[in-house]
């Protein structure tokens, strides 16, 4: 399978939101493992307000900032404040709760992982409906937070490969990445309560030629969660209803 690299247009500097390094105070090195996360800091806004933020060393900070601006009203997408200047350019995002999906996998929390993937499918489906591909699906780019109510808060990171004018091939590549991720997670299921469902999923995947669409993947995940002895976990609680 060939890897499709999205084409991205050059960014007009006047369109990119900028953040002065001098406005980022109380910078501390991030201790948790997230791709490209460097600092957490406090952003002093022009009106004198203060916002807790995260600073990422994005491979394409200007492109990613413009992408996140365009997706800003979508649930599961981090709020972007801008790109740092002068000097080295980094991406400034709002503080995002949660641990990466690979943490929950290592903890054996299969039902949390499958529920999170269900909502990642919904986020990416909304992007696809606007002609936007994601292009960077991995267990380290999915953040999952469990609220006190038991509900999940799911966010995506890593939009430097996103194409705002996606081709059909790039849309399909997202579906292939999601399908491959779910197959890999299925192979790692070890809990006894999931053994029967795991074997059913393995059998299903063995008989599929090609990859499932996102709609088909959602149906598989819903069936998986409904067949679990504990039923569906609490529904996803959107941050921006």
Give yes or no for a contact between 71 and 127, defined as CB atoms under 8 angstroms apart: yes
pLDDT of 121 above 50: yes
pLDDT of 178 above 50: yes
Express each pLDDT in 127-155 by its tens digit: 999 999 999 999 999 999 998 887 899 99
88 and 106 part of one domain: no
67 and 106 part of one domain: no
- The lowest-confidence range among 65-69, 162-166, 222-226 is 222-226
- Domain span at residue 29 reads 18-94
How many angstroms separate the CA atoms of 62 and 83, rounded? 7
Domain containing residue 43: CATH number: 3.30.200.20
Q: What is the pTM (predicted TM-score) of this model? A: 0.84
- For 166, list phi and psi in degrees, rounded to 5: -75, 145
Tell me if 7 is assigned to some domain: no
Express each pLDDT in 71-82 by its tens digit: 988 999 999 999
Q: What pLDDT sits at residue 232? A: 44
Domain count, the chain: 2
Domain containing residue 168: CATH number: 1.10.510.10
Would you place residue 12 in the very low, low, confident or very high pLDDT band (cuts 50, 70, 90)?
low
Give yes or no for a contact between 205 and 183, defined as CB atoms under 8 angstroms apart: yes
DSSP string, 75-113: TT---EEEEEESSS--EEEE----EEHHHHHHTT-HHHH
Express each pLDDT in 43-89 by its tens digit: 999 899 999 999 999 999 999 999 999 998 899 999 999 999 999 99
pLDDT of 209 above 70: no
Give the pairing type, strands 91-94 and 80-85: antiparallel
Express each pLDDT in 19-28 by its tens digit: 999 999 999 9
Q: What pLDDT sits at residue 129? A: 95
Tell me if 3 is assigned to some domain: no
User: What's the mean pLDDT when you consider all of the chain?
Assistant: 84
């Amino acid at each position: 399978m060939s890897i499709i690299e999205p084409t991205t247009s050059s960014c007009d500097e006047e369109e990119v939101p900028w953040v002065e390094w001098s406005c980022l105070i109380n910078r501390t090195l991030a201790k948790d493992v997230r791709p490209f996360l460097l600092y957490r800091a406090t952003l002093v806004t022009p009106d004198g307000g203060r916002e807790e933020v995260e600073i990422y060393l994005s491979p394409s900070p200007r492109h990613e900032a413009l992408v996140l601006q365009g997706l800003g009203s979508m649930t599961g997408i981090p709020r972007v404040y801008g790109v740092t200047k002068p000097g080295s350019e980094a991406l400034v995002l709002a503080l995002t709760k949660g641990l990466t999906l690979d943490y929950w996998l290592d903890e054996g929390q299969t039902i949390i992982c499958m529920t999170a993937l269900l909502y990642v499918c919904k986020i990416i489906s909304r992007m696809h409906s606007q002609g936007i591909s994601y292009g960077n699906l991995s267990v380290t780019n999915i953040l999952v937070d469990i609220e006190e109510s038991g509900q999940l808060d799911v966010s995506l990171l890593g939009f430097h490969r996103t194409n705002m004018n996606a081709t059909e091939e790039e849309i399909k590549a997202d579906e292939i990445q999601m399908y491959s991720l779910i197959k890999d997670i299925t192979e790692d299921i070890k809990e006894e309560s999931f053994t029967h469902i795991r074997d059913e999923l393995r059998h299903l995947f063995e008989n599929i030629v090609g990859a499932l669409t996102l709609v088909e993947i959602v149906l598989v995940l819903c069936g998986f969660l409904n067949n679990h002895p504990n039923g569906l976990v609490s529904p996803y609680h959107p941050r921006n209803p």
